[in-house]
Amino acid sequence: MSPFVLAEVQLVPDLTMFIHIALILLMIWFLNRTFFKPINRILDARERNKGGRGGEAEGILREVSEKEAEYNAGLLEARNEGYELTEKERVTAVEKKNAEVAAVKTEVAGYLEKELSELDRQTREAEENIRVEAEKMADKISANILKAA
């Protein structure tokens, strides 16, 4: 045989395979007992605490959302009240303006009526004066014509 010949490989399972499986199972049991269980307890506790804090954070976020909704509702209500107040003031101002315009129209109508009646009186007076003066002039003209004749 040459030195490079491979050793025979045995494909038939023997007792050592069962020993290896038993050692692997023993190692898994030992690692679970000493290493994985304590780490899993720590991870579970951390997750619970995180969940508790996360629940606390969710509560704070919920409270913030509720307060924001209250703020927005209050802001909307204040805006509506502002618009209503503005509208009431506008209506009051329009009514006041209309009342003032009506008062001025009434005053102007009274003043116009007074001035028209005064103008009418002056027209009648002027017509009367003209008639009287026309009669005086007619008398003078008649007298001058009679004197000249």
- Quote the mean pLDDT of the chain: 87
* Cα 109 from Cα 103, distance rounded (Å): 10
**For residue 98, how far is the Cα from the chain centroid?**
32
The residue ranking higher by pLDDT, 14 or 35, is 35
In the chain, count of helices (H) and strands (E)? 2, 0
Q: What is the pLDDT of residue 87?
A: 96
- Rounded mean pLDDT of 30-39? 90
pLDDT higher than 60, residue 5: no
Alpha carbons within 13 A on the beta-carbon side of 76: 6
**What band does 59 get if pLDDT is binned at 50, 70 and 90?**
confident
CA atoms within 13 A on the CB side of 115: 6
Dig out the tokens for 116 from the structure. Answer: 């028209």
* Token pair listed for 47: 């997750």
Torsion 129-130-133-138 (CA) sign? negative
Write down the pLDDT at residue 7: 58
pLDDT at 63 over 70: yes
